[in-house]
Amino acid sequence: MELIIQKKGFFLIGKASEIITYLREQSKVYTTVKELINLEIH
């Protein structure tokens, strides 16, 4: 029983870090696009 709970915990932690990494990538892309748009405007 303990092992299953541990595995699930590790799985959830892994998923959470994947999601955080994904969101970071998305915000990097967003920032880059925003900067490009600002350059176009000026």
The tokens of 39 are what?
Answer: 């350059």
For residue range 3-42, list pLDDT tens digits in order: 888 889 899 999 999 999 999 999 999 999 999 999 887 7
Listed residue (31, 1, 3, 24) closest to 16, CA to CA: 24
**Is the pLDDT at 1 greater than 70, yes or no?**
no
* Alpha helices (H) along the chain: 2-41
Distance CA 19, CA 33 (A): 21
- Residue 2 pLDDT exceeds 70: yes
Token pair 């990097």 is found at 28
What would the two tokens of residue 15 be? Answer: 């998923």
What pLDDT shows up at residue 20?
Answer: 95
Only one residue has tokens 């696009």, namely 33
